[in-house]
């Protein structure tokens, strides 16, 4: 037992045993001074992290609990801003839209992404071409994506006009100009932009599945589609959860897409929290309301990631 | 046996058909935009954007590049293009380097609390921009650099730091510890090991990080809108301003050409770098 321990230490330190006893104190000091350089190198990062992130978050959250309007006021006022915020019709729409858009976007993107991953996992030929075509939207900005879909869905130049030109004169597809439908058009663009990411993540997962499982399923005579639904995809549940978390966070953060596609309109029918905050902060200069809305966004992200991080860490520590 | 094989064959045909249809859904928006940008102004006014141009011309591209108007400024998107380049180069260089140093310091130097710092950085990557915009604006105004090139560069470095650090840390943790130990025995210090041992081994991850930051910063809209100021307006901000200008007749051919010009640099990076791009996107997905 001691022999093995000794062997291990010898193996771990590259210096010969004889030298080690002499060199140990010096190496120890050198080690400390050198890691001092590492500590100094970390100072800017820590300053940015604490100053720009944690202190700023605290600042915003605190402002949301004051009566700040045009300028920040620092006297504590409890939840007055939140009461006002949730009584504001525009916020009610924006907040509700986040859940509506979020639910549809998560379901749509996840289903399409997983379907594509399975299809590509099966299709051996031309995989490179398919991958290239499915992933390119990811490289395009949300601004270009939003403008493109705005043009495609615009009743005067897009799909509606095209179908009418084919001879079906009464065809109507004007969701993007309808207050109660505009939010759904964002889902098209969201799915188009994000499915590739889910496909890439899931495809990597599918490729990592043990070949023995497939062989066993084939021996048992289980059809391929059944193997996916009942065995392979449930095995990848942690990965699917990660995907859902990723899309959900993107939904809470989304801003550019709605700005380029509908600009929150018609009226404020397709508004989202991200746009509400920026508009209230920089156009209406209502810092109190903007901070309260931003804090709600932060709360939504925390509600999404804290259970996720908790389980992820628990899983990794096991 | 033959029926089974026939079933398999039908299955495969169905599979490829479905894939082709989905690929069409993915490529149609791009094709439509390309075809519209090649049309003449008359054609754009009379037909839907789904029809093909009868006489393709690059007039709209030239106009978008050199004389499209944002309000009263008619300098075309080239103004925004060069602004974006000026923002991009220093931002990418600094944020990648900062991420590499942080990731390296947190991986092989057994600093107490390294894991805690990593966790705190990871949490930062999830925070929506909106939550910290106002404090940052206030801070930059107080220092006196708000709405300037240094300001937008600093902001990009700040927002890139968590993901870059995580990316490099995860990479460096995977390198054998003996490398650093051997270099240390030879008397090399923190910076020498970084420059002569770690950096030469990080070519792949440097490419991934550079691509991730380049596309991310090029495609940014919100930060450019708020922090860059009028004189450094990046291309995405200018494009949106051009496309949403509602005075006069909307020139869709010019607008689509401007959109394509804006999308071109990241698209080129994507088509040229393939797998690196995908690696970066999946690694940096939290950034959203």
Q: A153 and A34, same structural domain? A: no
Nearest CA-CA distance, residue A298 and chain B, Å: 7
Assess whether A282 and A162 both reside in one domain. yes
Same domain, yes or no, for A25 and A162?
no
**Neighbouring C-beta atoms of residue A237, cutoff 10 Å:** 9
Assess if residue A79 is contained within a domain. no
pLDDT in tens, chain B (288 residues): 567 777 778 878 888 888 899 998 899 899 989 988 888 877 777 777 777 888 788 888 888 888 887 776 778 888 999 999 999 999 999 999 999 999 999 988 878 888 889 889 988 988 999 999 999 999 999 998 898 999 999 999 999 999 999 999 989 988 888 888 888 888 888 888 899 888 999 998 999 999 999 999 999 999 999 999 888 999 999 999 888 876 667 788 888 999 999 999 999 999 888 778 887 877 766 543
Give the residue from A94, A7, A46, A20 showing the smallest Cα distance to A278: A94
Q: What is the mean pLDDT of residues A202-227?
A: 88
Position B284 scores a pLDDT of: 67
Instruction: Please determine, for residue A189, whether its predicted confidence score (pLDDT) is greater than 90.
Output: yes
Question: What is the spatial distance between Cα B202 and Cα B223, in angstroms, rounded to a whole number?
Answer: 29
Q: Are residues A31 and A153 in the same domain?
A: no
Grade residue A142 by pLDDT with cuts at 50, 70 and 90. Answer: very high
Q: How far apart are CA B172 and CA B190, in angstroms?
A: 14
- Whether residue A61 is contained in a domain is answered as no
Q: Is residue A10 part of a domain?
A: yes
Asked if residue A312 belongs to a domain, the reply is: yes
Question: Does A72 fall in a domain?
Answer: no
pTM recorded for the entire structure: 0.87
Q: How many domains does chain A have?
A: 2
Residue with tokens 């858009």: A101
A82 domain residue, yes or no? no
Distance from CA of B206 to the nearest CA of A (A): 18
Please name the residues between 172 and 211 in chain A that touch chain B, using a CB distance below 8 Å. 192, 196-197, 200-201, 204
From A111's Cα to the closest Cα of chain B, the distance in A is 13
Same domain, A204 and A289: yes
Regarding whether A134 and A223 lie in a shared domain, the answer is yes
State the pLDDT confidence band at A257, using cuts at 50, 70 and 90.
very high
Say which residue the tokens 């169905």 belong to: B14
Q: For Cα atoms A221, A225, A230, give the angle at the middle one, nearest 5 degrees.
A: 85
Interface-testing mutation among A69, A139, A146, with chain B (most B C-beta atoms within 10 A): A139
Domain of A160? 88-317
Would you give the distance in Å from CA A236 to the centre of its chain?
A: 19
User: Sign of dihedral through CA atoms A150, A153, A154, A157?
Assistant: positive
Q: Are residues A23 and A92 in the same domain?
A: no
Residue A185 β-bridge partners: none
Task: Collapse the DSSP code of B118 into the 3-class scheme (helix H, G, I; strand E, B; otherwise coil) and give the result.
Answer: helix
Same domain, residue pair A243 and A138? yes
pLDDT per residue as tens digits for the range B64-109: 888 887 776 778 888 999 999 999 999 999 999 999 999 999 988 8
> Is A97 a member of any domain?
yes
Q: Which of B8, B126, B272 to mutate to test the interface with A (most CBs of A within 10 A)?
A: B126
Closest Cβ–Cβ partner in B18, B111, B124 for A119: B18
Is the pLDDT at A235 greater than 70? The verdict is yes
Between residues A1 and B44, the one the model is more confident about: B44
CATH of the domain at A154: 1.10.3720.10
Give phi and psi for A76, each to the nearest 5: -60, 135
Which distant-in-sequence residues (6+ apart) come within 8 Å of A146 by Cβ? A189, A256, A257, A258, A259, A260, A261
Q: How far apart are CA B242 and CA B247, in angstroms?
A: 10
Q: Which of A10, A25, A45 is the last residue of a domain?
A: A45
Provide, as residue numbers in chain B, all residues whose Cβ is less than 8 Å from the Cβ of A259.
221, 240
Residue A122 contacts B, CB cutoff 8 Å: yes
Residue A277 and residue A220 share a domain: yes
- Whether A277 sits inside 8 A of B130 (CB atoms) is yes
In this prediction, residue B246 carries a pLDDT of: 63
- Write the CB contacts of B92 (distance below 8 Å, at least 6 apart in sequence): B210, B213, B214, B217
Least confident range from A66-70, A150-154, B281-285: namely B281-285
**Are residue A168 and residue A286 in the same domain, yes or no?**
yes
Residue A18 lies in a domain: yes
Question: What does the pLDDT read at residue A56?
Answer: 93
pLDDT for the residue numbered B9: 80
Nearest CA-CA partner of B50 in B32, B37, B34, B38: B32
Residues A240 and A110 in one domain: yes
**Given this model, what pLDDT does residue B247 score?**
66
| Nearest chain A Cα distance for residue B263, angstroms | 6
Of B26, B111, B218, the CB nearest to A137: B26
State whether A217 and A99 are in the same domain.
yes
Given a cut of 50, whether residue A136 has pLDDT beyond it is yes
């Amino acid at each position: 037992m001691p022999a093995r321990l000794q062997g291990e230490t010898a193996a771990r330190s590259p210096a010969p045993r004889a030298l080690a006893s002499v060199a140990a104190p010096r190496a120890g000091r050198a080690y400390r001074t050198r890691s001092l350089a590492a500590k100094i190198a970390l100072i800017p990062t820590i300053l940015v992290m604490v100053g720009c992130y944690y202190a700023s978050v605290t600042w915003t959250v605190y402002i949301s609990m004051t009566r700040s309007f045009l300028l920040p006021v620092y006297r504590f006022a409890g939840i007055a801003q939140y009461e006002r915020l949730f009584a504001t019709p525009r916020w009610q729409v924006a907040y509700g839209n986040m859940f509506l858009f979020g639910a549809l976007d998560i379901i749509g993107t996840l289903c399409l992404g997983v379907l594509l991953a399975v299809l590509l996992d099966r299709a051996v030929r031309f995989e490179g071409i398919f991958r290239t075509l499915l992933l390119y939207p990811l490289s395009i900005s949300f601004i270009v994506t939003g403008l493109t879909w705005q043009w495609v869905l615009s009743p005067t130049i897009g799909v509606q006009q095209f179908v009418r030109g084919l001879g079906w004169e009464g065809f109507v597809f004007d969701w993007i100009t309808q207050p109660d439908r505009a939010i759904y058009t964002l889902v098209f663009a969201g799915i188009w932009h994000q499915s590739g990411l889910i496909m890439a993540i899931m495809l990597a997962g599918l490729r990592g599945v043990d070949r023995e499982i497939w062989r066993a399923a084939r021996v048992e005579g289980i059809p391929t589609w059944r193997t996916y639904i009942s065995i392979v995809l449930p095995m990848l549940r942690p990965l699917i959860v990660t995907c859902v978390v990723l899309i959900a966070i993107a939904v809470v953060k989304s801003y550019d897409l709605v700005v380029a596609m509908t600009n929150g309109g018609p009226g404020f029918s397709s508004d989202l929290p991200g746009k509400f905050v920026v508009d209230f902060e920089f156009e209406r200069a209502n810092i109190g309301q903007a901070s309260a809305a931003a804090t709600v966004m932060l709360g939504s992200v925390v509600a999404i990631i804290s259970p996720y991080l908790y389980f992820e860490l628990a899983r990794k520590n096991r | 046996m033959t029926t089974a094989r026939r079933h398999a064959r039908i299955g495969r045909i169905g599979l490829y058909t479905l894939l082709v249809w989905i690929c069409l859904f993915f490529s149609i928006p791009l094709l439509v935009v390309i075809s519209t940008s090649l049309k003449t102004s008359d054609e754009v006014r009379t037909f839907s954007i789904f029809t093909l141009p009868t006489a393709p011309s690059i007039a709209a591209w030239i106009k978008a590049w050199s004389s499209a108007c944002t309000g009263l400024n008619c300098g075309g998107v080239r103004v925004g293009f060069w602004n974006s380049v000026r923002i991009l180069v220093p931002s990418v260089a600094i944020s990648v380097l900062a991420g590499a140093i942080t990731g390296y310091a947190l991986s092989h130097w057994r600093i107490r609390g390294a894991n805690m710092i990593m966790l705190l950085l990871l949490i930062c990557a999830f925070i929506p921009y909106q939550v910290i915009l106002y404090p940052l604006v206030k801070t930059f105004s107080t220092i006196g650099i708000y709405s300037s090139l240094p300001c937008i560069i600093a902001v990009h470095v700040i927002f890139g730091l968590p993901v870059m650090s995580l990316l490099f840390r995860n990479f460096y943790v995977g390198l054998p510890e003996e490398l650093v130990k051997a270099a240390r025995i030879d008397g090399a210090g923190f910076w020498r090991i970084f420059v002569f041992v770690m950096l030469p081994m990080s070519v792949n991850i440097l490419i991934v990080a550079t691509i991730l930051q380049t596309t991310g910063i090029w495609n940014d809209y919100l930060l450019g809108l708020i922090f860059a100021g009028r004189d450094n307006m990046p291309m995405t901000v200018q494009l949106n301003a051009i496309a949403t200008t509602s005075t006069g007749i909307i020139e869709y051919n010019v607008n689509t050409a401007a959109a394509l010009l804006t999308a071109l640099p990241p698209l080129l990076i994507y088509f040229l770098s393939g797998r690196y791009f995908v690696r970066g996107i999946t690694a940096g997905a939290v950034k959203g």
